[in-house]
Amino acid sequence: MKIAIIGAGLAGLTAAYELRDHEVYVFEAEGRIGGKLHTVAFDAGPTDMGAEAFVARRADAVEFFSELGLQGSLVRPSGLRPRVYSDGALHLLPEGGVMGIPARPQDFFTEETNARIAAEQPFGWTPGQDASVGALVRAQFGSDVVDRVVSALLGGVYSCAADDLGLRATIPQLAQMLDQLAAQGPVTLSGAVAALEQARTAAPQAAAGPVFATFRGGYAELYEALAEQSGAQIHLDTFISGVQAQGAGFQVHGAPAELGTFDRVLFATPAPTTARLLSKVAPQAAAELKQVKLASSVVVGFRFASATDPQGASLPEATGILVAADEPDMRAKAFTLSSNKWPHLGQRPGCIVRASFGRFGDDALVRADEDDLVDFALDDLQKVSGFDGRAAGVEEIYTQRWFGGIPCYAPGHLDIVSRVEALLADTPGISATGAWAGGVGVPAVIAHARATAARLVGQE
């Protein structure tokens, strides 16, 4: 069977690997493979400028990496904890809770907020309903909890404020617990979070071991292994502009060349692009998918000569620093202290730090001049940690802009995905996958791409 895959990001390359027994052509608009996985050759060694970790508790992903022969490349983080910069100081993240949503008062919050948490009023919840995470937590606990912790934590994953994210897609376990508790009447957030904490304590095995892992040589190890072992013909610098039905197959239109006809087409591009490409072959699915918006971000990676500046100020003993969403005069939203987070990077000369900027609905920083971004990153890093990166010595800098980096999992997102998938199931010969479909994390993207590829060739 002759199959075209559009997009050589993680989803497209995983699908190509899954379809390795077929004649597969992958068309990629950019001059490189990997999409939002991008390992850059710093002088001190390969360094990720997109995704830099994955949830290692996903056994399916770890097994998949073993199947690719990459088990020896997996490395674990240091075990240090992140900090949050809020009210002009660094704090440890509050203990317990779910994505920063607490079950009980915490020293971290103001007295007023703690009084609200302690006296939370029950609310009505209809099983299966969705809600904006920010709106729900704001209504129950007030803005302090949302702006100081929840948005910082969720923003680190989704590049969106909590107000723009749907509970069911981004904290599904909490939505399910609310569904369960709603059978007995009105619910509270604190009650649902406490029930989840209890379930966690009752299953210590499941929670054993570090949550995250990564690849010693960066994500390039993964995307290069997928490309090679797929045996697919990968065409770089090939922008696909349209797909049309032709007889029992599909004509794929692109530049620079006419690309021919295929028995099957798998779309592995971001949601708005997939919507545009589906418009002739599956117009209803295209209209649904068009509703999914993207959030942009920019990562500035540094290697400093030292983790201590000449004045003796050091970076904190933490994996990273999240910046509270309501912190005034801050532009960076987070710093990953990569050399602290990953022992294999800590062994390299100097000290690697990644600064991240940008949230859904505000592209100004993503478009900012490169020199300005570097200054913002260095100024903000000094503000949150006291560490003067300029004085410590900047050895290397890499700026990576991610326009449309992450799909925004807004309230109702899962319903959109269900409708798109149902419509595509009725359109033989084409399928779609990617970070918009089954979750933005690397294991989720892989799982969805594999299942979608298997279904595509399972159809007759």
Ligand X SMILES: Cc1cc2nc3c(=O)[nH]c(=O)nc-3n(C[C@H](O)[C@H](O)[C@H](O)COP(=O)(O)OP(=O)(O)OC[C@H]3O[C@@H](n4cnc5c(N)ncnc54)[C@H](O)[C@@H]3O)c2cc1C
Residue ranges in contact with ligand X by CB under 6 A? 6-12, 27-30, 35-37, 50-54, 239-240, 268-270, 273, 297, 299, 402, 405-406, 434-435, 440-442, 445
DSSP string, 342-382: -HHHHTSSSEEEEEEE-BTTB-HHHHS-HHHHHHHHHHHHH
Please identify, using beta-carbon distances, which residue of 52 and 309 lies nearer to ligand X: 52
Please identify, using beta-carbon distances, which residue of 346 and 386 lies nearer to ligand X: 346
Q: What's the closest the beta carbon of residue 393 comes to ligand X, in angstroms?
A: 26
Please identify, using beta-carbon distances, which residue of 181 and 282 lies nearer to ligand X: 282
Q: What's the closest the beta carbon of residue 416 comes to ligand X, in angstroms?
A: 16
Note every long-range contact of 193-199, with CB atoms under 8 Å and residues 24 or more positions apart, other chains counting. Answer: 193/97, 193/98, 193/101, 193/102, 193/103, 194/103, 194/104, 196/98, 197/96, 197/97, 197/98, 197/103
Question: Rounded CA gap, 153 and 426, in Å?
Answer: 38
Please identify, using beta-carbon distances, which residue of 113 and 452 lies nearer to ligand X: 452
The residue assigned the tokens 């390992």 is 39
Q: What's the closest the beta carbon of residue 273 comes to ligand X, in angstroms?
A: 4
Q: How many Cα atoms occupy the beta-carbon half-sphere of 184 within 13 Å?
A: 9
Q: What's the closest the beta carbon of residue 240 comes to ligand X, in angstroms?
A: 4
Bridge partners, 362 (sequence order): 359
Q: What's the closest the beta carbon of residue 128 comes to ligand X, in angstroms?
A: 26
Q: What's the closest the beta carbon of residue 122 comes to ligand X, in angstroms?
A: 35
Question: Rounded CA gap, 22 and 249, in Å?
Answer: 15
Please identify, using beta-carbon distances, which residue of 141 and 357 lies nearer to ligand X: 357
Q: What's the closest the beta carbon of residue 295 comes to ligand X, in angstroms?
A: 9
Q: Exposed, middle or buried: residue 197 (CB in 10 Å: 0-12, 13-18, 19+)?
A: middle
Please identify, using beta-carbon distances, which residue of 332 and 440 lies nearer to ligand X: 440
**Cα 117–chain centre separation:** 29
Question: Rounded CA gap, 365 and 358, in Å?
Answer: 6
Please identify, using beta-carbon distances, which residue of 24 and 435 lies nearer to ligand X: 435
Tell me which DSSP letter residue 163 carries.
G
CA angle 78, 84, 89 (to 5 degrees): 120
Nearest to 102 by CA among 150, 59, 70, 136: 150
Please identify, using beta-carbon distances, which residue of 38 and 303 lies nearer to ligand X: 38
Please identify, using beta-carbon distances, which residue of 387 and 402 lies nearer to ligand X: 402
The residue assigned the tokens 């859904």 is 360
Q: Which amino acid is residue 381, in one-letter code?
A: L
Q: What's the closest the beta carbon of residue 274 comes to ligand X, in angstroms?
A: 8
Please identify, using beta-carbon distances, which residue of 45 and 393 lies nearer to ligand X: 45
Q: What's the closest the beta carbon of residue 50 comes to ligand X, in angstroms?
A: 5
Q: At what angle do helices 442-458 and 59-67 cross, to 10 degrees?
A: 70
Q: What's the closest the beta carbon of residue 123 comes to ligand X, in angstroms?
A: 32
Cβ atoms 359, 333 nearer than 8 A: yes
3-state secondary structure 67-83: HCCCHHHEECCCCCCCE
Q: What's the closest the beta carbon of residue 298 comes to ligand X, in angstroms?
A: 8
Q: What's the closest the beta carbon of residue 403 comes to ligand X, in angstroms?
A: 10
Question: Rounded CA gap, 286 and 38, in Å?
Answer: 28
Phi, then psi, of 332 in degrees rounded to 5: -70, 145
Question: Rounded CA gap, 67 and 397, in Å?
Answer: 35
Please identify, using beta-carbon distances, which residue of 253 and 390 lies nearer to ligand X: 253
Please identify, using beta-carbon distances, which residue of 293 and 390 lies nearer to ligand X: 293
